[in-house]
A and B are shown apart, each in its own frame.
Chain A
């Protein structure tokens, strides 16, 4: 062991054919990985199509033309893994492909990176196609699965209420589009138009590659030389910045009913803070004090003092400048819970913040930044975010910026935060009248 355990860095290796290659330096992991991201502007027209692409890639490729063949090969490679899927950050959609395998020191001399990256390249560059479209039978299955998947969003009540809140809050903004699109847009997909979209992805979407773990220079060079080498990527698409501003005329209140036991309250706020602005760091601290950890105002007041909830927390969407407060409560306690939550938001604006709370938050954020470096995937995600916003920060510099935040900075940000939408997913048949104190 004793590989460099110091600073975690991302070193730019090459920009080639419209693809930026990075190497993550951190030697403590037992696995090596390659993470590939294609980036697109989040749009109604392409969100569903982009989302079905990784599903099609996972069905196999020329050399391993079925899931069974592909998975069998991965098993032979000591349980190597290739996963793929879409995520959204702000108003951008990411199509990610993630390959990982155990390091060669554990394989009795077998070298895995070249073999696994060949498999990854095969999936990406030689998917299962017939005539001018994706293989029809596979395509139909994946389209059906996507429809089922989108419908099953309702199964997870917390995530469902969160995404409904965001859909309503950002109704006329691209951010309202779910990361894997909508059922009606999935149904517009066919093998031909999806293959055309695939061509757009590999030819025109900006692409980033991160290689991490114990991979030797020769294998890295081989990867850079071969990855997408035959694809003409001369015309890379422009990516739009996410808009964090919007005029809030009045607070929207949306109640929906479902046959459930627990009501889910989601309160959507806008912070009007860009991820690249200096105000971003005070915002992170603000969110931590208000609803981050067990020391936060929401946890203390909604859960510990009033016993209204098991969870009461706030989360930031960094790129869109949103803050959502969530809590699961009895329907009859809804008014009480809203009051307590809004009082905490008000207290933040007034600067009613104990010194020990700001200190605890700063420490907890520092711990978070340090432990993030113990997760190989988390490191990739961190640097991806930095490269996306061209922030140039690394873990250490970000910790310094957070530690420099003062109470005044937090209060200044608190002034900007505005309530936009209150969404409540309400148990059917629950009492409509609210308890009054």
Chain B
């Protein structure tokens, strides 16, 4: 059996990488001493894959918003019952998530891993959709959508994406809307499945205290994809300009809530993407983090509170930096933040702060290796972004202050946008 072994002596971690003959990529991260074992089976297909060509057909189709997420719900249903039931009856905890660019099915367990793993590999390859079970799901997903409609943090974030992006489908609601899911039917779901659930567009990640052969041989036994077509993804070009500067919504909240952000339209992948993500993380932390002058100023003036947070999301097909929280005066807060960003752009980050924050961020990365779930998610995410998870350490050592300042300046050449939720 041919597989690659990557060991990271300094971190005490080992990853095994296996190429199945169908083109399916398989990873095992060995985690000694942990009880928990987890396996993920994911496709590089999410809410933003809304326009595509179905295999064997030259015409592009435009599918209803929320269909990737709908399909995720439906895969759990099999002819002989609900998969959730089967996993729980073996003591496993099954779940799935749909993001902008991924749909991932997973379980975690402590015992009977092999039985559970076989079930995971089996059901994801075998959808069982009927008109009746598709209709039934609309009530459940409808309530999931309603739940998000009342979630101010979620709403303000999607309003920001709508401000930032003109064309890019990352702005589409992951679960869709009550109206869009009504248009979903069995045939459309199969079109999506047949297009995106192909081995070259998928990956399996296992984390636990296993020997590699034991895992990879189960993959060999269970993977029988009939459909081995190549997926061609195409996203519209996103202009430098933003869609709208400001968007406001009213909801039942106690005080205003804001999200502010900027998009990154650079097309990067592989090691460059890792470096860019880390450098932007350091720069944003330097500008907005709890040790920054800006944070102290905003906090002392009562313009932000403990809910203030920021996020760096740099991926192969989309990227943005976003930050926000509660504020009695989002516009004033946004103005002060914009001034500071302009200052950081012109002055750059100092060496002492750069070294300190880089050290701190690298420590956070090491800390994240405590979590089996986190490791599994990161490996999947890295693979779909054409990056290598354990290159993170190398990326930290290679970025310097000049690179960091230059990517920060580049991204903030783009205009920021502001979304606000006001109380009713």
Contact = CB atoms under 8 A, between A and B. Distances in A.
Interface in B147-186: 147, 149-153
A182 B360 CA distance: 36
A426 B95 CA distance: 29
B400 interface: no
Contacts of B299: 67, 141
Nearest to B38: A371
B326 A303 contact: no
Interface string A357-382: 00110011011001101111000000
A46 interface: no
Interface stretch (A125-133, A142-150, A190-198, A237-245): A142-150
Contacts of A364: 88, 91, 93
B150 A157 contact: yes
A78 B360 contact: yes
A27 interface: yes
Nearest to B10: A106
A5 B253 CA distance: 47
Contact of A329 (B12, B88, B143, B149): B143
Which of B292, B359, B366 has the most chain A CB atoms inside 10 A of its CB? B366
Given A29-B370, A259-B424, A78 B359 contact: yes
Contacts of A199: none
B367 A79 contact: yes
Interface in B296-341: 296, 299-300, 302, 305-307, 326
Interface stretch (A69-77, A219-227, A246-254, A344-352): A69-77
B265 interface: no
Which of B88, B152, B292, B300 has the most chain A CB atoms inside 10 A of its CB? B88
B143 A294 contact: no
Nearest to A108: B10
Interface string B112-126: 000000000000000
Nearest to A31: B367
Contacts of B143: 262, 308-310, 328-330
Given A28-B34, A295-B89, A309-B143, A102 B254 contact: no
B356 A293 contact: no
Contacts of A102: 363, 366-367
B372 A374 contact: yes
A262 B96 CA distance: 23
A80 interface: yes
A71 B291 contact: yes
A307 B137 contact: yes
B409 to A, nearest CB: 23
Q: How large is the interface on A (under 10, 10 to 19, 20 to 34, 35 or more residues)?
A: 35 or more
A68 interface: yes
Nearest to A144: B302
Contacts of B370: 29-31, 375-376
A297 B357 CA distance: 49
A72 B360 CA distance: 9
Contacts of A14: none
Contact of A154 (B94, B254, B356): B254
B357 A75 contact: yes
A367 B146 contact: no
B144 interface: yes
Interface in B59-95: 82, 84-85, 87-94
Nearest to A112: B363
A155 interface: yes
B342 interface: no
A216 to B, nearest CB: 18
A356 B299 CA distance: 54
B293 interface: yes
Contacts of B238: none
Contacts of A157: 150-151, 252
Which of B34, B108, B370 has the most chain A CB atoms inside 10 A of its CB? B370
B88 A360 contact: yes
B82 A294 contact: yes
A15 interface: no
B396 to A, nearest CB: 12
Given A145-B306, A330-B143, A360-B91, A74 B34 contact: no
B47 to A, nearest CB: 17
B94 A294 contact: yes
Nearest to A74: B360
B293 to A, nearest CB: 7
Contacts of B357: 75
B146 A154 contact: no
Interface in B345-359: 356-357, 359
B289 interface: yes
Contacts of A418: none
B290 A67 contact: yes
B378 to A, nearest CB: 14
Contact of B326 (A76, A148, A328): A148
B36 A371 contact: yes
Contact of A155 (B149, B152, B369): B152
A260 interface: yes
A148 B35 contact: no
Given A78-B359, A106-B11, A28 B146 contact: no
B35 A373 contact: yes
B367 A370 contact: no
A155 B143 CA distance: 18
A385 interface: no
Given A148-B305, A374-B36, A307 B296 contact: no
Interface string A144-174: 1100110111111110000000000000000
Nearest to B305: A145
Closest 8 CB pairs of A and B: A363-B91, A307-B139, A5-B33, A79-B363, A78-B363, A294-B84, A28-B33, A79-B360
19 contacts: A1-B33, A27-B33, A30-B11, A30-B366, A30-B370, A75-B357, A80-B363, A102-B363, A155-B253, A156-B151, A157-B252, A258-B252, A259-B252, A261-B149, A262-B143, A293-B88, A295-B84, A311-B147, A329-B143
Interface of A: 1-3, 5, 27-31, 66-68, 71-72, 74-80, 100-102, 105-106, 141, 144-145, 148-149, 151-158, 258-262, 293-295, 299-300, 303-304, 306-311, 328-330, 356, 359-360, 363-364, 366-367, 370-371, 373-376
Given A66-B296, A294-B84, 14 more contacts: A31-B367, A67-B291, A78-B360, A78-B363, A102-B363, A105-B12, A153-B254, A154-B253, A157-B150, A157-B151, A262-B146, A293-B88, A295-B84, A300-B85
